[in-house]
Chain A
Amino acid sequence: MSGAPAKRSGPNLWILVAGVVLIAPMLLLFNASFGNDPRAVPFLMEGQPAPEFSLQTLDGDTITLKSLRGKPAIINFWSTWCGPCKQEHPVLLRAPQRYPGVTFLGVVYQDEPNKVRSYLRAVGGSYQHLIDPNGHTAVLYGVAGVPETYFIDANGVIIYKQIGPVDDRMLQQLVTQMLGVQ
């Protein structure tokens, strides 16, 4: 009645290969993305010349990036409505005295000059703050939120952008690096 047992089909190799071919690239993509902060906004301008700007200070003077050449500069985009900006303010307040070889500038981001003046009167200010009326300079610099701080060497090249508040240690490291480049 029953002859030799029919040969049972083993694991289907081609299905396995097809599955691997389909799934492997997706796993590679997932793997490349694991560990990345999904809220982080990529920034590609490090190592590139900082965009030129011409902005007015709170006192009405005009400052251009060109006028800062020959000396490293630290440009901090901030606003009075931003909590982390207030957190880093004391660090930046004492920085110009600690690093006289560096120009410190603040660029006010989406804020009203009067509010900024009142705030600085209350907490103190040790360097110039520029008004960016329509936010174009912030867009040119690739600002995606505040606070963001740009470290620009004496040749006008962005060497680093700090997203979030700066601290004393970071400032010291980066200023040393910038003065070395000079």
Chain B
Amino acid sequence: MKSLLLGLLLASALAQDPSLGDPSLDALGPPGPPPQTELQLDEQTERISKGLRCPVCQGMSIADSPSQTAVTWKNAVRDMVSKGYSRAQVEQFFITRHSEWVLLQPPAHGLNWLLWLSPALVLGGGLTLAAAYASRWRREPDSALPSERGDVPKDPYEAALLAELEES
């Protein structure tokens, strides 16, 4: 009964708002069933809003920003959710206007894979290099003098010292 009342209230609110019947929402495809309770509506709105970038803030979601623009966008999200649009549809609505920039978490496709994979690549590359160096150090214990390895020409004093040592 409660959900029926909520549904009626939502339907009446939508009927009173002349700006909600825009055909651009039709491009998102048919909406699904709307949330059954106010709590579900709030939770879904919050979840979607957390992923949408506030256009007048720095790295903040519209859920976290108190700016008027963020509040307006969040109200629009709530409105779409109340009509049964899914998270993907709501995000698509904003992407068609502002590109994927509007998503705080870039979707994993195309060049975005670089963003997702680069930390793992850098970490993997670093570990591989470290392992390569470690194994080389184990193979080549550095006990010899540089001159013995041939890295530098033998110093005359060193040569004299080595000769004396050999004689004794």
Contacts and interface: CB of A to CB of B under 8 A. Distances in A.
Given A2-B147, A42-B98, A110-B72, A55 B55 contact: no
A140 B114 CA distance: 32
Contacts of A94: none
Contact of B148 (A1, A51, A52, A132): A1
A134 B75 contact: yes
Contacts of B151: 5, 8
A135 B111 CA distance: 34
A19 B125 CA distance: 8
Interface in B94-109: 96-99, 101-102
B118 interface: yes
Interface size band for B: 35 or more
B150 interface: yes
Contacts of B99: 42, 44
Interface of A: 1-2, 4-6, 8, 15, 18-19, 22, 25-26, 29, 41-45, 51-55, 62, 110, 132, 134-140, 142, 144-145
Given A2-B154, A18-B128, A55-B19, 19 more contacts: A1-B148, A1-B162, A2-B150, A5-B149, A18-B129, A22-B118, A26-B118, A41-B55, A51-B22, A51-B24, A52-B24, A135-B72, A135-B76, A136-B19, A136-B75, A144-B55, A144-B98, A145-B55, A145-B69
B18 interface: yes
Contact of A52 (B23, B97, B162): B23
Interface string B130-168: 001000000000000001111100100000001000000
B97 A43 contact: yes
Contact of B22 (A26, A53, A110): A53
Contacts of B79: 134, 136
Interface string B19-42: 111111000000000000000000
A62 B122 CA distance: 59
Contacts of B132: 15
B12 interface: no
B61 to A, nearest CB: 15
A4 B129 CA distance: 29
B121 interface: yes
B114 A25 contact: yes
A19 to B, nearest CB: 8
Interface string B29-66: 00000000000000000000000000110000000000
Nearest to B59: A38
A144 B73 CA distance: 9
Contact of B97 (A15, A62, A142): A142
Contacts of A138: 72
A136 to B, nearest CB: 4
A45 B21 CA distance: 19
B72 A139 contact: yes
Contacts of A110: 68-69, 72
A65 to B, nearest CB: 10
Given A44-B98, A144-B55, A53 B19 contact: yes
